[in-house]
Amino acid sequence: MPLLVMKFGGTSVATLDRIKRAAKRVGREVANGYDVIVIVSAMSGETNKLVGYVGETSPMYDAREYDAVVSSGENVTAGLMALTLQEMDIPARSWQGWQVPLKTNSAHGAARIEEIPTENINTKFGEGMRVAVVAGFQGISHEGRITTLGRGGSDTTAVAFAAAFDAERCDIYTDVDGVYTTDPRITDKARKMERISFEEMLELASLGAKVLQTRSVELAMRYKVKLRVLSSFEEYDPNAGTLICAEEDIVENKPVAGLAASREEAKMTLVSVADRPGIAASIFGPLADAGINVDMIVQNISENGETDMTFSCPTDQVKRAESALSGAKERGEFTYDELICDTDVAKISLVGIGMRSQSGVAAKMFKVLSQEGINIKVIATSEIKISVLVDRKYTELAVQALHDAFELDKA
């Protein structure tokens, strides 16, 4: 039989009534002739509660025991979903990560999937099981310990299962009805897209769009897994949601597909760094070792043989970045006069695969921001993305002006 993967997020399984609602959607696909693998998250708020318990019990916790505790929320949901389906006379069975087994490395709290053998689940499908309800977010290491994949890991679990089992499609059910051209909370002109390419979704996810976890989109792009994002609270519609697919499956590529805004950005500037070969490696090496996600980089060269180096990073990594840079300075790896940190900025990004073949997008973006009196602090570009840092107070104005200028409200 053809196979579907259906993933339900925490809000979609937050109560027994919502689990029943989700189970009815699964039952509809079974009636349509599919075997189904259902990936479930913990009930809404459960993971935060479990993380809190760990922190209160052991502030300097053992990561292996952390995973043992926080993975339990998904186990509860999987069992309840399987029971609900059984009450509907649908042959279903719950599966924990170790039972599949979903094999990962040993990076507890942020494990990477290495292999998903299909034999155990396929054997049960052959024996008459119609739905395998799998606890998302978790796996098992080479040492036989429970591991977790990091926040949002159930999305990654779902895509990985779709790839391993060659599923026809992977449906991600959440509390939004698709992927929008920008955040609907910022402008009511935001439009739900029918389709978006893997590359565009990956950029939007990495730039602050919180619909999907970045790693799940990376996996989908690598293995060409068709993803559909849709709401578990809307009435059934076979054409609902947004399909995330290969570029060739999109009829016409507009210059700009979407617009992302992130307020959790900081701009950091090292003043008066020596302008010599290898200085960039000396600066960004310690930042990489400290796990700092550096994004935009600008170097300003002065006449006296020194330079200012500016970069952006998430605001919650500023303290670690400051510590890494001061430590490198104390070790004599490089020197600087001052480290200036501006946490009152926002990153505004235009994304579109149509930029590859159409010019003028950057010029139009800069002109629109200028007309609104918005000063650009830093610029970064890629083949399908243009990002700028602006003062945070202009976030809404910048998004609304650019959304209008590029007519993103029109299909």
For 29-86, write each residue's pLDDT tens digit: 999 999 999 999 999 999 999 999 999 999 899 999 999 999 999 999 999 999 999 9
- What does the pLDDT average to over 291-319? 87
Q: If you average pLDDT over residues 184-196, what whole number do you get?
A: 91
* For range 287-310, the mean pLDDT: 86
Q: What is the pLDDT of residue 209?
A: 67
Q: With a cut of 90, say whether residue 326 has pLDDT above it.
A: yes
Per CATH, the architecture of 3-175 is what?
3-Layer(aba) Sandwich (3.40)
Report residue 388's pLDDT band, with 50, 70 and 90 as the boundaries. very high
The pLDDT, as a whole number, for residue 252 is: 66
pLDDT for residue 240: 87
Class of 259-405 per CATH?
Answer: alpha beta
pLDDT value for 302: 66
For residue 125, the model assigns a pLDDT of 97
Q: What is the pLDDT of residue 238?
A: 74
Q: Bigger pLDDT: 315 or 254?
A: 315
pLDDT at 171: 96
Confidence of residue 254 (pLDDT cuts 50, 70, 90): confident
Answering whether pTM is above 0.85, one says no
Q: For residue 111, what pLDDT is reported? A: 95
Mean pLDDT value across residues 337-350 = 94
What mean pLDDT comes out for the span 239-255? 83
pLDDT value of position 35: 97
User: How large is the average pLDDT for residues 101-110?
Assistant: 95
The predicted pLDDT at position 207 comes to: 77
- Mean residue pLDDT of the chain comes to 93
Give me the mean pLDDT over the 95-114 stretch: 96
Between 307 and 37, where is the model more confident? 37
**Which pLDDT score is estimated for 208?**
65
Long-range contacts of 207-211 (CB under 8 A, 24+ apart): 207/260, 207/262, 207/347, 207/349, 207/351, 207/385, 207/387, 208/260, 208/261, 208/262, 208/264, 208/347, 208/349, 209/179, 209/183, 209/258, 209/260, 211/174, 211/176, 211/179
pLDDT of res. 243: 93
Segments making up each domain of the chain, as ranges? 3-175, 259-405
